[in-house]
Structure formats: structure tokens, C-alpha cells
Amino acid sequence: MLRHGTMFKLSDRMQAAYDHLIPDEPVWDFCCDHGYLGLSAYRSGRFPEVHFVDQVPHIIEKLKTRFEQKHQKYEQHQRAFFWSQSGESLTHQVSGTVVIIGVGTHTITDIMRGIHEKNSGFISRYIISTHNYEDKLNVFLDEFLPFKTAYKFTKFCNVPENGRLRKLLIFDKICKI
Ligand SMILES: C[S@@+](CC[C@H](N)C(=O)[O-])C[C@H]1O[C@@H](n2cnc3c(N)ncnc32)[C@H](O)[C@@H]1O
């Protein structure tokens, strides 16, 4: 996988997620918090839309203010969008690469249940990493039929973080021919 330099020094886990974003497609940074992944994607100019989603309003407000002061001036063709709501309650259409990392299994499964069926045909790739209950996440991914029939497991990366290994899972849309 070709490594692209980013404007932030990303952790290995974030860099691995960044390296698997699909160029020329939207990026959805769910549970974005500091927003480093989405900001790196935005600044690269390689993605037409970057969406930041976090359920804590002041996180999104702060991020948006920082974005307007420091990053928006680098806009070429790319656009940024800020969503101050839980991922599972989004009704806007989601497409391109969905990233849900740095949260627990419960949050990941809630968000996937909330967005998957409405957007199944539009989401090209899911990049997922849980910080707890990996087994429960695997069971969910194996049993959530609408997802299982539309997406295939493509690869996983083991990434070191704070003395432990985190798994990053990549799922891609099954292209019907
Ligand atoms: C530990 S940070 C993870 C940040 C980043 N994704 C990473 O991997 O470093 C978790 C963030 O997820 C947000 N969050 C938790 N549950 C959420 C949900 N259901 N929808 C959207 N954001 C959520 C929290 O507000 C917090 O900012």
C-alpha cells in the first residue's frame, strides 16, 4: 500500500486507516474527535468531500472553528462538512469510505446498524477498529446479514498502539457483475 505523507504525524493506527481511504471518493470520519484523520484527508486534496461526525457538540464546534482558521484556505476542489450528532442518527446520504475507529464495539455496531441499510449501495469501503470486545464485533459482522451479503472482508492490519496490537478491519462492497 502506497504511503502518503500527511500534514499531521498520525499514530500508526490512524496512518493505517488513512492509507486505505479510497482516493476521489468521499471520506466519512465517524467519531472524529480531534479530526486528525479527516483533516489530513482534507489537506491532501485527494478526496472530494470530507465529513466529520461526532456526537459531542463542542467537539464539532471547536473542530469547525479550527478548520475555518487554519485549513479552509487550502480548499481546492474538496469540501468539508461537520455533523454534530451521533453517527447512528445521520439521515444524510453516506458514501465512499466510512471510518469508525477508536471507539468500542457497541458504538461501531450502533452506527453500522443506523447507516448501513440506507446507504449500502453508496458506501464503497468500511474501515473499522474497536478498542474493546473484538470477539463481539466479529460476531456482529458475521451475523449482520444486510452487511454480510453486500460487503466482503478484504484485509486486516495489526497496528501497535500503547503497547498493544489493534486490529484494523477493511470491508469492501461486493461488486455485482
Ligand atoms: C476516543 S475518540 C476517537 C477519536 C478517533 N476516531 C481516533 O481513533 O483517535 C471517540 C470519539 O467518539 C465520539 N463518539 C462516541 N460515540 C459516538 C457516536 N455514536 N456517534 C458519533 N460520535 C461518537 C466521542 O464523542 C469521541 O469524541
How many angstroms separate the alpha carbon of residue 177 from the centre of ligand 1? 36
Query: pLDDT tens digits, residue range 152-166?
Result: 999 999 998 888 899
How many angstroms separate the alpha carbon of residue 34 from the centre of ligand 1? 9
Cα 103 to Cα 80, 114, 131, distances in angstroms: 22, 16, 6
17 lines ligand 1 (CB under 6 A): no
87 lines ligand 1 (CB under 6 A): yes
56 lines ligand 1 (CB under 6 A): yes
Query: pLDDT tens digits, residue range 110-133?
Result: 999 999 988 878 999 999 999 999
The Cα 127–Cα 169 span in angstroms is 6
Evaluate if residue 2 carries a pLDDT over 60: no
Query: pLDDT tens digits, residue range 26-84?
Result: 999 999 999 999 999 999 999 999 999 999 999 999 999 999 999 999 888 999 999 99
Model pLDDT, residue 1: 52
The Cα 10–Cα 162 span in angstroms is 14
The Cα 118–Cα 20 span in angstroms is 23
Evaluate if residue 6 carries a pLDDT over 80: no
How many angstroms separate the alpha carbon of residue 31 from the centre of ligand 1? 3
Taking the whole predicted model, whether its pTM rises above 0.85 is answered as yes
Please name the residue that has the C-alpha cell 478491519.
169
Backbone conformation region of residue 19, classed left if phi is above 0, alpha if psi is from -120 to 50, else beta: alpha
Domains and CATH numbers, the chain: 26-173 (3.40.50.150)
